[in-house]
Structure 1
Amino acid sequence: MKVIVTGSLGNISKPLTQELVKKGHQVMVISSKAERQKNIEALGAKAAIGTMEDAGFLSATFKGADVVYVMESLAPDAFFDPNVDAIAAITEIGKNYKQAIEQSGVKRVVHLSSIGAHTDQGNGLITFHYNVENILSQLPADVSIKFMRPVGFYTVMFSFIQVIKQQGAIIQNYGGDEKEPWVSPLDIAAVIAEEIEKPFDGREVRYIASDEMSPNEVAKLLGEAIGKPDLKWLVIPDEQFLTSLIANKMNPQTAKGFVELNAARVSGVMYEDYFRHKPILGKVKLKDFAAEFAAEYYKKV
């Protein structure tokens, strides 16, 4: 099959591309950076250089594809740009995908969404995933869509490193002993590759998770991995957490969205639909990720 992969060579798109090429599919990877072309071709795929913000480019690139995998992302510093409305910007990308899918005639779509996308109430930044799911759901009925809803990425924990070094603890506005699901990008890529080869029929939702562990258990595991067995996960009030994010130059609107996202973990809003459709856990466990976290922790010393 001819498969279009968005997301360049990111944490999901790179292993997904490798898996699809290995399975014999003709893969084209969309990247906004021309310098990535050689690396994409080295994987056995073709490169299409352009952006998610260009609906015309997307439409031309999607044309003739059997399946398109679409995901939304912003520039790495977008959350710290005072001029960027993250929810609005990603919602616009969703509109571009809808237009491109309609104009190109693609009938099979896999969309990377997120846990929490089942609602637009009390889920903070996740609202943009709810928005995009609903935009894509407006496509004609003969377009089959698989909405992938992974839980919290292991890689988000890399953001803990600076605070651990500065304050000797993980500090968030949620925590405790309640287990919550986490996922490896490798397991996400494996599930997407699997779904691309399975039959498409209407609109489907699949949750993706690798492991379940409480914040306190995470702190213990990561602490042992970095040689700090007494590492604690400390919980601070929402307002204090918001103030700290803004003090670190995060866009205030985005910071508020992060605070609300974490609060949704505490209230249960984030996980209510996940637990109704709980998936089989993937292969890559938090213990496996802890070694990767430790390597990153000491690399930044």
Structure 2
Amino acid sequence: MKIIVTGSLGNISKPLAINLINAGHYVTIISSSADKAAEIEALGGTPAIGSVSDVDFLTKTFTGADALYAMIPNDLSSDNFRKHIGGVGLKYAEAIKASGIKKVVLLSSLGAHIDGGTGPISGVYDVEQAFNQLDGVDIRILRPAFFYYNFFHNIELIKHAGIIGANYPGNKPHVMVHPNDIAEVAAYELQQSFTGTTVRYIASDERTLDEVASVLGKAIGKPDLKWVEFTDEQSLQGMLQAGLPQEFSRS
């Protein structure tokens, strides 16, 4: 099969591409950075360098392919995350329609069934709605849970305050996922026959955040590490001090 992978060599797209290449498929990897071309070729893939906001580029790249893995790259410089994410989704949908590609696996998110009130995930809701308007295209929507690597944002807090936390309680179950598990599911789905539009949720583990703090603490030599629930305002100020954009932090 000829398969298009978006997302350059990111945390999901790279292991996904390797999986597909090792399975004998012809894989084209879209990246906005020409610096990635050599690494893509070294993996056995074909680089397609361009912008996911360029419909002509996307259409040309998608044309003749058997399947597409579609994800929306992050843009922390955006002052309107929903508009950015939804806008790229519309570009994808336009290119899918124009190219005639018939099988799509879309990376979405837990909570993407909700219209508004979910921060950047609201943009993924808009992407799903745009894809739902495509006629004659079979779509598998992947909705993964909270990414494990988001805990990296707590490194400075752990270093300087000896705690880990956010604005949600430590005693409630928290569903988490590893990018490699998402890549494995995406690779599987791209190689399957399916019809219509369906949703698949992806999770690797479910723990309370108190458990998470305990596991992480023991792993880094801080066995007494505790999860602390912050107020919304405390959480906001922490994210702003960490350098995250205000629009992202407030969402």
Query: Considering the TM-score relative to the shorter chain, is it more than 0.5?
Result: yes
- Alignment map for 1:16-95 (pairs within 5 Å): 16-75=16-75, 78=76, 81=77, 84-95=79-90
Structure 1 position 134 matched with structure 2 position 125: no
> Partners of 1:250 and 1:16 in 2: how far apart?
28
1:230 alignment counterpart: 224
1:251 maps to amino acid: P
Structure 1 position 96 matched with structure 2 position 91: yes
> Partners of 1:162 and 1:106 in 2: how far apart?
45
DSSP-derived class of the 2:120 partner: helix
CA deviations over 1:79-119 (Å, ceiling 9, x no partner): xx4x6211111111001101110110111110000000111
2:115 alignment counterpart: 120
Report the CA distance between 1:244 and its aligned residue. 2.5
Report the CA distance between 1:153 and its aligned residue. 0.8
TM-score w.r.t. length of structure 1:
0.81
Match of 1:193 among 187, 193, 197: 187
DSSP-derived class of the 2:156 partner: helix
2:12 maps to amino acid: I
2:87 maps to amino acid: E
1:165 alignment counterpart: 159
Match of 2:137 among 133, 143, 154: 143
> Partners of 1:23 and 1:131 in 2: how far apart?
33
Match of 2:149 among 155, 171, 176: 155
CA deviations over 1:276-295 (Å, ceiling 9, x no partner): xxxxxxxxxxxxxxxxxxxx
- Alignment map for 1:212-231 (pairs within 5 Å): 212-231=206-225
CA deviations over 1:63-94 (Å, ceiling 9, x no partner): 0000010000124xx1xx4x621111111100
DSSP-derived class of the 1:124 partner: coil
Which consecutive unaligned segments of at least 5 residues does structure 2 have? none
Match of 2:237 among 243, 247, 254: 243
The 1:256/1:158 distance shift into structure 2, 3 A limit, reads: same
Structure 1 position 3 matched with structure 2 position 3: yes
> Partners of 1:17 and 1:244 in 2: how far apart?
36
Report the CA distance between 1:4 and its aligned residue. 0.1
> Partners of 1:122 and 1:93 in 2: how far apart?
20
For the Cα contact (< 8 Å) 2:54–2:91, is it kept in 1?
yes
Which consecutive unaligned segments of at least 5 residues does structure 1 have? 258-301
Report the CA distance between 1:130 and its aligned residue. 0.8
> Partners of 1:91 and 1:127 in 2: how far apart?
8
> Partners of 2:142 and 2:95 in 1: how far apart?
20
> Partners of 1:26 and 1:248 in 2: how far apart?
41
For the Cα contact (< 8 Å) 2:82–2:119, is it kept in 1?
no
DSSP-derived class of the 1:19 partner: helix
1:243 maps to amino acid: Q
1:184 maps to amino acid: H
1:192 maps to amino acid: A
Structure 1 position 182 matched with structure 2 position 176: yes
| Alignment RMSD | 1.2
> Partners of 1:166 and 1:185 in 2: how far apart?
28
- Alignment map for 1:269-280 (pairs within 5 Å): none
- Would you say how many aligned residue pairs link Structure 1 and Structure 2? 251
> Partners of 1:131 and 1:167 in 2: how far apart?
39
> Partners of 2:238 and 2:211 in 1: how far apart?
24
Report the CA distance between 1:121 and its aligned residue. 4.2
